[in-house]
A = this chain, B = another copy of it.
Amino acid sequence: MEERTEISTLGEFGLIDHLTKNNETKNASTVLSVGDDAAVIDHFGRQTVVSTDLLLEGIHFDLMYTPLKHLGYKSVVANISDIYAMNATPTQIVISIGISNKFSVEALDEFYSGVYTACEKYNVDLVGGDTTTSQRGFVISITAIGEVAPDNFVKRDGAKVNDLICVSGDLGGAFLGLTILEREKKIFEETGAQPDLENRAYIVGRLLKPEARKDVIDYFAEQKIVPTSMMDISDGLSSEMMHICKQSNVGCVLYEDKLPLNEDSKNFAYKLELDPTACALSGGEDYELLFTISQADHKKIEQNNGLSIIGYITEAAAGKKFITRGGNTHDLVAQGWNHIK
């Protein structure tokens, strides 16, 4: 009998490891290949950074509560966020879409108006793509290209013992936005009641119209900070932290009381009887930056209100730890959004 291994036994990251374990690079211009937010290609003086995302209706977005313009905007933002996470500047994107005949041209115009708005805001050129029919569901594939000064790119594997662990913005908002939209969708389906999103603008906005942290990369350049490792938070803080620890071969300590939470997010979490800390640790799609810096850069981070120091890097043998407000120490558990279930 033929062997059959269920993909679920590997998980998304195990699957990627499995599929790329024999992958060897042949071109001298390939500086960095599979395994980070983006690949790096050498181009005669500067380096090119490439990242790609595939977004499927029903898996990554629900058109019932996602306006198409927001979806176009977010698709671009999510992808170029990976370029910023390499400490690089996005310059071009290509975008492919698969559409069923339920889509009208006006609907697509809405989607593209979001795409162009994001391109405008982040100074990125849309330079190509592919358009095709889909039998079912809207399919979006975006590849972003960016540039970075030679060897100025920041990977996930450079965190050193005693480095400080930092994040931009606040965490958990997008997850809470998703939670309320899913709840209102369910109520609508059951009772026909219109969604009650009063006072939920912040968390809903975090989900539907995220921004990429170009400003943080600009701040690094201005302050001459080069993080020792960095990635963007798309799957959730704890999951991303595990990636940095694994790839850098280090451990970490994170402090609950240092996690940046927004007041609106916190209040809504309590209302739903959710733990805001769990939302911050495991909620995805915030597109904030998680990075490590050497202690020498401590002051430069502290003086920026938009950045938080949430812990520090330890020896790998010390494990990955989370210290609660009450002073208890737990093992950090990755409960990120795992799209391969």
Contact = CB atoms under 8 A, between A and B. Distances in A.
A149 to B, nearest CB: 11
Contact of A52 (B25, B94, B106): B94
A16 interface: yes
Contacts of A94: 39, 50-52, 143
Given A44-B43, A99-B7, A137-B135, A127 B92 contact: no
A152 to B, nearest CB: 15
B339 A133 contact: yes
A100 to B, nearest CB: 10
A18 B105 contact: yes
A106 B143 contact: no
Interface stretch (A56-64, A205-213, A328-336): A56-64
Nearest to A40: B127
B139 A56 contact: yes
A101 interface: yes
Given A46-B43, A143-B94, A339-B133, A34 B128 contact: yes
A98 interface: yes
A104 B44 contact: no
Contact of A132 (B32, B59, B125): B59
Nearest to A139: B139
B128 A50 contact: yes
A59 B133 contact: yes
A135 B59 contact: yes
Interface string A1-32: 01111111110100110111011011101101
A106 B27 contact: no
Contacts of A104: 4-7
A50 B146 CA distance: 12
A134 interface: yes
Number of copies of this chain that the complex holds: 2
Contacts of A314: none
B127 A3 contact: no
A108 interface: yes
A192 interface: no
A176 interface: no
B135 A30 contact: no
B7 A105 contact: yes
A5 to B, nearest CB: 4
A168 interface: no
A56 B25 contact: no
B145 A97 contact: no
A326 interface: no
Given A44-B45, A98-B54, A340 B135 contact: no
29 contacts: A4-B104, A4-B106, A6-B101, A7-B99, A7-B103, A10-B105, A15-B105, A19-B108, A19-B112, A20-B126, A23-B126, A29-B91, A30-B91, A30-B127, A32-B127, A39-B127, A41-B92, A50-B143, A51-B94, A52-B95, A52-B143, A54-B141, A60-B132, A133-B339, A133-B340, A133-B341, A135-B136, A139-B139, A143-B143
10 interchain residue pairs of minimum CB distance = A43-B43, A39-B127, A141-B141, A54-B96, A5-B105, A143-B143, A44-B45, A25-B125, A39-B128, A52-B94
